[in-house]
Amino acid sequence: MSSFIECFWTSELESGSPFQRRVLPDGCMDILFDFATAANSPASVIGTMTRPLNVVIAHRVDLLGVRFRPGALSNFMSFDGVELLDARVDLANFWGRFAEELCGRLSEAAPINRISVLETALARRANARSKRDPFVEHCVKRIETANGALRIADLERSSGLTSRQIERKFARCLGISPKMFSRIIRFKRVAAAAGPRARDWAGLAAAFGFADQPHLVREFKAFSGSTPVEHFAEAHETARHVEFIQDVQIF
């Protein structure tokens, strides 16, 4: 299980003044359970994101999520990654009655026990239909190790596949091309390395293989919706006015 799952996470917030939170692409897919919603379908599959998502929070938040390693959700359900791209789809479309029963068990469980209940359910699904693609796993690891700075030709040599075969596998399992996945990984790495007090953007651009500082800024805007300076200023302002709690359990 640990090789499939990036982390389990929970988010809780009592009602307060409405605020906006920006969710950024990370190359992963999630299953999300919303216990504060009044909707009939509180569970969703969140596909790979290629652009920032602005979420307006104006009510109580009580979420549980499981974030899958890039390409690993295909071990738990059948889907076309392209159809899930930048989309949110009812989990029942994939798991049917099993999704409804799981939502019921999670709703009845104490918050502290929800991750354990979800982990058990995922183990059942994985045992029933494990369809791991070793080529996708190999290419994902190579791209992540290179911080996104890896050419398709390098993946062809190391995997033994043609570029067209790699493209098809990424489209099916991730919904995006290996080039787009590489861009997202590089964005994640540079954002993590920069932090709110970064000043040497030209140095960071060189360290992560960008052509120059303007190239870094363009990529940052593509995936965050703002320049690096604007992004970290916005994050600081949100944290100053809103107490947003997110507990993450990493495997």
Domain definitions of the chain by residue range = 5-131+242-250, 134-239
Q: What is the mean pLDDT of the chain?
A: 87
Structure token pair of residue 114: 């929800």
What are the pLDDT digits (tens) for 18-30?
667 788 999 999 9
Q: Looking at the domain that runs over 134-239, which CATH code has it been given?
A: 1.10.10.60
Q: What is the pLDDT of residue 228?
A: 86
Helix (H) or strand (E) holding 45: strand 43-46
Task: Read off the pLDDT of each residue in 51-56 and give the average, rounded to a whole number.
Answer: 86
Higher pLDDT, 183 or 198: 183
Residues 176 and 12: their CA atoms lie apart, in Å, by: 31
* Residue 52: pLDDT over 50: yes
Q: Report the C-alpha gap between 248 and 87 in whole angstroms.
A: 23
Among 14-23, 72-81, 193-202, 225-234, the range scoring the smallest mean pLDDT is: 14-23
Closest CA to 126 of 250, 30, 5: 5
Question: How confident is the model at residue 87, as a pLDDT?
Answer: 95
- CA distances to 42, 86, 194, 250 from 65, in Å: 12, 17, 27, 12
Q: Region 126-150: what's the mean pLDDT?
A: 86
Q: Which residue, chain included where needed, has tokens 């920069």?
A: 194
Helices (H), the chain: 92-95, 97-108, 114-128, 134-145, 152-159, 163-173, 178-194, 201-207, 213-224, 228-241
Q: At what angle do helices 152-159 and 163-173 cross, to 10 degrees?
A: 90
Higher per-residue confidence, 235 vs 96: 96
The β-bridge partners of 66 are 8, 31
Q: What is the pLDDT of residue 15?
A: 66
8 Å CB contact between 106 and 62: no
Summarize pLDDT for 192-224 with one digit per residue, the tens.
Answer: 888 767 678 899 999 999 999 999 999 999 999
Confidence at 45, pLDDT banded by 50, 70, 90: very high
d(CA 35, CA 221): 32
Check pLDDT > 70 for residue 8: yes
What is the DSSP pairing of strand 61-68 with strand 29-34? antiparallel
Percent of the chain with pLDDT over 70: 86
pLDDT band at 57 (very low <50, low <70, confident <90, very high): confident
Q: Worst-scoring range by mean pLDDT, 25-34, 185-194, 230-239?
A: 230-239
242 pLDDT tier (thresholds 50, 70, 90) = very low
Residue 243 confidence (pLDDT): 46
